[in-house]
Structure 1
Amino acid sequence: MGDTSGVGPSRIDALDGLRAVAVVGVLLFHLDLAWMSGGFLGVSLFFTLSGFLITRLLLAETDRDGRVALRVFWARRLRRLTPAALVVLAVVTIASLWGLFDGARLRGDLGASLGYLANWRFATAQSTYAELFTSTPSPVIHFWSLAIEEQFYLLFPVVFVVLSKKRAFLLPGLVALIGVSVVTSLFTDSRNLGYYGTHVRAAELLIGCVLALVVARRVPTSTSSHSRIATSIAGVTAFGALVLAMVLATASDAWLYRGGLAAVAVGSSIVIHAASGTGPLAWLFARRPLVVVGRASYSIYLVHWPVIVVMSPDRMGFDGWSLDLVRIVVSVSLGFVSYRVIESPVRTRRVLKRPMIAGIALIASMVSVATLTVLVDTQQSVVLAGLDAPEVVVDFATIGGPTDVTTIAQPSPRVLVLGSQLRTGVDLARSGVEVESVDVSAPGCALSLEVFRDCPTIVDAVEAIDSLEPDVILVGVGLIERRVLRERVAALAPVTDDDRAAVTITQSGEMVDALLNGFADRPIIVVDYGGPDIFRSSLQDFDLRSDSTVVLVGGNPERLGAMIDEALSASRADLIRVMVIGDSSSFGVAQALHNVAADQFRVVWAGGRNCPLVEVERIQWWADMDFDMSYCPTFEAVWRDMIAEFEPHLVLEIASVPEQSAQRYPGDPIWYTVEDEEFLARHELVMSSLMTAIDEAQATLVMFDSPYIHGGALGGAPFADEARVDAWNSLMGSWIQRWPEIRRLEWSVVVAAAESTPGELRADGVHIEQPVLDRIVVESVVPRLREVLVERETSPTVAP
């Protein structure tokens, strides 16, 4: 990302072409293409190239002037890097205020990016780079690399000046620093720190610096024809290896953090050296299209990730190669606009020519962006189903479905309207549903337990319900409830953004529980006229936990009328009761069953994120990443009683990642995997108890086998190893042989059939987006469950 414009040696076109290769690799990686899983190594190539070019510049300045003007150097770096970055941060911040980006950490991410400290923020976060595709993406996560470069540009010239006082110390000093950086990486347990830490990634930049010293003949090298041929062969070989690594490597590969990134930098330095000469790589990378893209690569890098995040499949309405193509075109186009309009004019002093004016503009711009970031909302929107599975049992509401209303001679159903919204009664009147409406809403008054002004309380609402005996209750909520929530959070005075987010989630849940629990024995439709935020998520969570509550986003009278009809006609007497246990994937399937077949199945989910069948203390994904799983439901604590009380017809067991991961059990410090005797013994014990309870309830257990994990952020994890997947599937197969009444659902076959290429539908390697999962479930899972029900009636002890 560095350059030599404006001072020092002439520009090498082939190195601009090499920049193009690097930015294309990163862009394709961020599109989550399975065949470019190592495209993030383009950043490593950028690092090494930057170290080479900056050292080349410093050497030329030293040879010309006898010294390095540090202030001038830093001013050039600011002109080169800061204007375009500030514009991108400003645009992202403004877009966040409009709701295009969100996240509990976004405000802090923007501030850290503005101060070129983003890498340290992400290094100390409680998430990993591998979670890039498994959580709400930060639109500025890619600023981590810019932060490392700026930190390097601040410190390296000082190191260069000190070591250059005796030239004999320069090369050995840099080699020693490389050694320190590599050794540090070997002793770094945190994968985040190993990826984002400046002290660890410095080796890649310093290797480029050493290359510049060698090329500048600070170390004697041969320029014979044999040497040039050898350099060309080595360059082509190294470039082939670099491309292969970009295709095959994943961000989760352990070798990268054990000296692998430094090894990639060595290969990159060979490519850079060859491209700087006259061989085939120099010719290839000097082609005009590559040079043009390379010169705009910094701006393209800046804009591409926010473009990818904002142009999501949900927002765009389409996906696949067509969306990828649109994202590429928009990213490259905006990148060239930024290069021509912002980056190049400031760097070449066509604008802001005077240093004082440039400095004032820089300070004013940074203050303006910092001020805007303060206004960014820190509330987290739930994006992906399954990954946001709650830590409670969920009894999916069955209000809704295709059942027609049966009309007989009887009084009109009574609908009671409560809440703070005048629009609720208006929407009910416009819905066209024939009901008796009793509107006791109080506009501007949020229902609560506390007495406030002349507003009715929840106690008043319960009394109205008891006296009027409505068939359906409508509760309108909106901005007033959000204001009350903000006041409650402010009263608790949380200190940090993370504290505020946690307090907001807790207070929002308590408000919703207090609001709706008193009415839970009657059909409730909550009409929410607010925005997509934590309060709405709390309402939807209550919807999932309640048999009788459903949430409607306001402003749709026609849908409101349909929901009232469904609530009045819903009958659960003939529904098949389905209990689902397992990990986050099981929640997605449970949600899908409810979404597509609520008229057939009553679904209760009793699993947990990353939770296995057995009681565990911790689950380990990587050697340096494990999780406290003490909240997981277990047979003894949850499932035994639930099976007896719920009396399910079917119990679905769906778990993969936690069963293919290493498990640590209470009171035992050893990690066990599916091949170990302790793992097998504990699972056998739980399975025996589970099957006894299922048999007593006259239910049928359906086990989903585990698909192979292809690509994505989780594709390189130990639990994704095909041997682990096979071992877990084999263990389930042994249970089916032991208990022939168990039914198998070949989920791996279903997923493989739905994907045109392996892993296509699973962005992180494991989870499928909810709309796609809904389609798969209605096409493949529902028919198979119907088959199981028939088998259950005809030959319940015959294995399928």
Structure 2
Amino acid sequence: MHHTSTVAPSSRTVTAQGLPLSSSRLRFRGDIQGLRAVAVLSVLGFHAGVPFLAGGYVGVDVFFVISGFLITGLIHREIEQTGRLGLGRFWARRARRLLPATAVVLGAVAAMTIAVLPVTRWASTAWDIGASALYVVNWRLAGQSVDYLANDAPSPVQHFWSLAVEEQFYLVWPVLLVLLAWVRRRRGWRLDAVMLAGIAAIGLPSLAWSLWFTEANPGQAYFVSTTRLWELAAGAALAVVAHRLDRLPGWAAHVLGLAGLVAIGYAAVRFDAATPFPGSAALVPVLGAAAVIVAGGAGRRSASARLLGVAPMRGVGTLSYSLYLWHWPLLVGAAVLWGGDDGTLTTAAGLAVVVFSLVPAWLTYRLVEAPVHHAGVFARRPSWAGVLGVACTAAGVAAALVVALAIPRPVYTGNTDAPGAAALSDDPGSDPDGRPADAVDSMVPDVLAAPDDMAMLDGELCISDIDGTELESCTFGPPDAAVTIAVVGDSKMHQWLPALERVAAERGWRLVTYLKSTCPLTTVDVAYDGEPNEWCAEYNDARLDRLRTDDSIDYVLTSQVAGYAAGDEPEVVRAERMATDLSGVWSGLEAAGRDVVVMLDNPNPQGDVMECVATHPEDLRECAFPRADGVRASGAPPQQEALDGLDGVGAVDLRDFICPGDQCPAVIGETLVYRRGSHLTATYVESLTPRLDEALLAAM
């Protein structure tokens, strides 16, 4: 995201950006430095939680346009002057400018991870650091974006996804231009025409793919390179054609530049997490950035160029790369140290961290970025820049290995036959074993193993991913069983598989699963990433059809975490819509000859209990949460409301054995209760088998 804004003239007095230049001296584009400031300040404000910058993430798209413009301008000039492009020199220059600061920050993140982050996050962070060092972290994040059962705590290097996109562009784009330059020499074609053809070959398919994929899979579309290349290509096209716009009238340059800034500001203010992105929405900041660049390259200085070219904006723009690198890890670390119960910082605290990030950013720029960039040894020995790049990449990978090797052995050892829920009496609210403990000598699963302590059925995960609509199922038990139970719902139904498997094996029942992450059994829309989950809606059509028509199914056992229908209405209205719909769905299944049994959702903690236990092993009371808050945050209230009007639907309520009393403990019977978010550990669920068996028999 950082390239010099100082450009040299070509043999025909055209700058590397393709803009006219009457002087032989280097020309400094102060407006581009200022535009960098706009981009980075938008991102920083968004990450700090500034309310009116809910779309500040579009600053990344502005960076993409700038990068495509500047890099292609340099390539254009070199090919025009020499007839070829030295790939080795090009990549060495990129490595010299970008990788040293990256290595410093990745090393600092590794140290911060060990010093600050809960040990439960070390393994995933180590993988993230390694992927960031190799500039493939965006693909790792894309894969995790649809894995609802993965750890969802923010990575301290999550922001490296955009740097990975740029670096991948720098690998592909110059190689394509070398091939095009070879064709140009053989065919005698004009350089600009050949370059524009190459830009179109990358940009147009990428734009089309972005439009489709953003609708089809918004989680992955945000991170993958293929949906973003068109943004860099837009800047690249400007570098080729902008010199043709040098006759732009002064009034037009003023209007174009200000309109571009308004477009960027509009996107930063009006967009939010619910905006499908990138897709068509990304056209707003991309075209806005392009307009500002064109206006700033006009012969007479445009109003936008004057605004962006003031000293404070240029100063922030100069530090933009280092600021971008530093601010997010510091925000993540600060959230762990000073975040609220939900692990987030207040806006004021976020802004304070962002302001503080100026200190390491300035030091990195003065001590690393600028000295390496201007070191004469790399001009005399260009190959050394390549060696430096390899060394910096190796340093980043080494930082990842340090974190991985620092992961301790299990924190808790001892009793591997912990009783879990079996330690509770029939009156758990008055049972001392159900009260939050100060500490425990042994615990299963260990907090390091808890993320993988997931429910399975006969060794299979048996739950569909968030994306996709294909109806998938697992079966367990004899095909001629007297009782067949369809286990239906989202991950909150899925978590009960360990206990259900043992009950079914004891009773000779047959289980058939129809489970899908973030997809309760409803006909109303539910939200995913702030938008109605169309995958879930289509999946539910098929799921409900199967449940109604498969006469081998005797019972439908269901649960869910979703308490609200999707929409813009107040929560109380959306909760009522959910309850009304659940009542109708269950009644319809009963009418089709299926007996319905509902498992009331367990209380949902507001923070991450697993991480809290790792952070406060000596005072587990810190990790308890009020039962009333947990019940309100769960899907139980609409479930209960729907049940109140249906006499024929059975209910299973094991909440007293998950949260005895007014405070929900993190550990019961030397067993960790929660593994991730509001999901129970498979170990604790298994300890609930006798309770589930008893409750199911009573409800059936």
TM-score bracket for this pair, using the shorter chain length? 0.5 to 0.7
AA partner of residue 271 (structure 2): A
Aligned counterpart for 1:311 among listed residues 331, 334, 347 = 334
| Shift, 1:612, TM fit | 5.3
The answer (yes or no) to whether the contact 2:338–2:345 under 8 Å persists in 1 is no
Structure-to-structure mapping, 1:197-346, within 5 angstroms: 197-217=224-244, 221=245, 223=247, 227-254=249-276, 256-277=277-298, 278-312=301-335, 314-315=337-338, 319-346=345-372
Partner of 1:40, secondary structure, is helix
| Shift, 1:584, TM fit | 10
Query: Which residue number in structure 2 is paired with residue 3 of structure 1?
Result: 3
AA partner of residue 350 (structure 2): D
Taking the aligned partners of 2:405 and 2:212, their CA distance within structure 1 comes to 35
Taking the aligned partners of 2:563 and 2:421, their CA distance within structure 1 comes to 35
Query: Which residue number in structure 2 is paired with residue 61 of structure 1?
Result: 78
| Shift, 1:118, TM fit | 1.1
Query: Which residue number in structure 2 is paired with residue 22 of structure 1?
Result: 39
Query: Which residue number in structure 2 is paired with residue 191 of structure 1?
Result: 218
| Shift, 1:656, TM fit | 3.0
Query: Which residue number in structure 2 is paired with residue 681 of structure 1?
Result: 584
AA partner of residue 200 (structure 1): T
Structure-to-structure mapping, 1:713-792, within 5 angstroms: none
Equivalent pairs, count:
489
AA partner of residue 243 (structure 1): G
Residues 206-239 of structure 1 show CA distances to partners (whole Å, capped at 9, x for unaligned) of: 011111111133xxx4615xx3312321221232
Taking the aligned partners of 1:687 and 1:247, their CA distance within structure 2 comes to 48
Structure 1 residues 319 and 155, CA, compared in 2 at 3 Å: closer, same or farther?
closer
The answer (yes or no) to whether the contact 1:614–1:683 under 8 Å persists in 2 is no
Structure 1 residues 4 and 626, CA, compared in 2 at 3 Å: closer, same or farther?
farther
Taking the aligned partners of 2:535 and 2:394, their CA distance within structure 1 comes to 39
Partner of 1:376, secondary structure, is helix
Structure 1 residues 538 and 141, CA, compared in 2 at 3 Å: closer, same or farther?
closer
| Shift, 1:190, TM fit | 2.4
- Does residue 109 of structure 1 match 2:128? yes
The answer (yes or no) to whether the contact 1:619–1:627 under 8 Å persists in 2 is no
| Shift, 1:57, TM fit | 1.6
Taking the aligned partners of 1:674 and 1:257, their CA distance within structure 2 comes to 31
- Does residue 371 of structure 1 match 2:398? yes
Query: Which residue number in structure 1 is paired with residue 566 of structure 2?
Result: 660
- Does residue 119 of structure 1 match 2:138? yes
| Shift, 1:252, TM fit | 3.7
Partner of 1:294, secondary structure, is helix
AA partner of residue 656 (structure 1): G
- Deviating more after overlay: 153-162 vs 350-359: 350-359
Structure 1 residues 660 and 302, CA, compared in 2 at 3 Å: closer, same or farther?
same
Partner of 1:160, secondary structure, is helix
Query: Which residue number in structure 1 is paired with residue 159 of structure 2?
Result: 142
Structure 1 residues 235 and 280, CA, compared in 2 at 3 Å: closer, same or farther?
same
Residues 318-338 of structure 1 show CA distances to partners (whole Å, capped at 9, x for unaligned) of: 953431231121122221111
Residues 255-306 of structure 1 show CA distances to partners (whole Å, capped at 9, x for unaligned) of: x344332453223211221133311001000010000000110010011110
Partner of 2:63, secondary structure, is helix
Structure 1 residues 244 and 43, CA, compared in 2 at 3 Å: closer, same or farther?
same
AA partner of residue 228 (structure 1): G
AA partner of residue 128 (structure 2): D
Query: Which residue number in structure 2 is paired with residue 622 of structure 1?
Result: 533
| Shift, 1:65, TM fit | 3.5
- Deviating more after overlay: 303-312 vs 56-65: 56-65
Q: TM-score, normalised by structure 2?
A: 0.59
The answer (yes or no) to whether the contact 1:178–1:206 under 8 Å persists in 2 is yes
Taking the aligned partners of 1:20 and 1:30, their CA distance within structure 2 comes to 15
Residues 327-370 of structure 1 show CA distances to partners (whole Å, capped at 9, x for unaligned) of: 12112222111111111111111676744554444434433432
Structure 1 residues 625 and 60, CA, compared in 2 at 3 Å: closer, same or farther?
farther
Partner of 2:418, secondary structure, is helix
The answer (yes or no) to whether the contact 2:520–2:561 under 8 Å persists in 1 is no
Structure 1 residues 257 and 680, CA, compared in 2 at 3 Å: closer, same or farther?
farther
Q: TM-score, normalised by structure 1?
A: 0.52
Taking the aligned partners of 1:583 and 1:268, their CA distance within structure 2 comes to 42
5+ residue gaps, structure 1, are 381-478, 486-510, 543-581, 586-607, 641-652, 662-672, 695-700, 705-728, 740-768, 771-800
Taking the aligned partners of 2:386 and 2:225, their CA distance within structure 1 comes to 27
Taking the aligned partners of 2:452 and 2:412, their CA distance within structure 1 comes to 20
Query: Which residue number in structure 2 is paired with residue 514 of structure 1?
Result: 418
Residues 82-131 of structure 1 show CA distances to partners (whole Å, capped at 9, x for unaligned) of: 00011111111122233436255222211111101111111222448x99
Partner of 2:357, secondary structure, is helix
Taking the aligned partners of 1:366 and 1:26, their CA distance within structure 2 comes to 25
* Percent identity over paired residues: 30
Taking the aligned partners of 1:258 and 1:62, their CA distance within structure 2 comes to 33
The answer (yes or no) to whether the contact 1:103–1:138 under 8 Å persists in 2 is no
Residues 697-717 of structure 1 show CA distances to partners (whole Å, capped at 9, x for unaligned) of: xxxx9xx9xxxxxxxxxxxxx
Structure 1 residues 655 and 187, CA, compared in 2 at 3 Å: closer, same or farther?
closer
Residues 748-770 of structure 1 show CA distances to partners (whole Å, capped at 9, x for unaligned) of: xxxxxxxxxxxxxxxxxxxxx99
The answer (yes or no) to whether the contact 2:122–2:403 under 8 Å persists in 1 is no
Structure 1 residues 358 and 638, CA, compared in 2 at 3 Å: closer, same or farther?
same
Partner of 2:439, secondary structure, is strand
Structure 1 residues 529 and 96, CA, compared in 2 at 3 Å: closer, same or farther?
farther
5+ residue gaps, structure 2, are 9-14, 16-26, 426-430, 454-488, 493-515, 544-553, 568-575, 604-636, 648-676, 679-700
Structure-to-structure mapping, 1:33-182, within 5 angstroms: 33-100=50-117, 102=121, 104-127=123-146, 135-164=152-181, 165=184, 166=189, 167=191, 168-182=193-207
AA partner of residue 584 (structure 2): A
Residues 711-769 of structure 1 show CA distances to partners (whole Å, capped at 9, x for unaligned) of: xxxxxxxxxxxxxxxxxx99999999999xxxxxxxxxxxxxxxxxxxxxxxxxxxxx9
Structure 1 residues 202 and 611, CA, compared in 2 at 3 Å: closer, same or farther?
closer
Structure-to-structure mapping, 1:404-553, within 5 angstroms: 482=411, 514=418, 520=424, 523-524=432-433, 527-528=439-440, 535-536=446-447
AA partner of residue 292 (structure 1): G
Taking the aligned partners of 1:47 and 1:63, their CA distance within structure 2 comes to 24
Structure 1 residues 118 and 523, CA, compared in 2 at 3 Å: closer, same or farther?
same
Taking the aligned partners of 1:186 and 1:178, their CA distance within structure 2 comes to 12
Structure 1 residues 181 and 482, CA, compared in 2 at 3 Å: closer, same or farther?
same
Structure 1 residues 109 and 541, CA, compared in 2 at 3 Å: closer, same or farther?
closer
Query: Which residue number in structure 2 is paired with residue 446 of structure 1?
Result: none
| Shift, 1:43, TM fit | 0.4
| Shift, 1:183, TM fit | 1.7
Query: Which residue number in structure 2 is paired with residue 763 of structure 1?
Result: none
Q: Which has the larger radius of gyration?
A: 1
**Aligned Cα root-mean-square deviation (Å):** 5.0
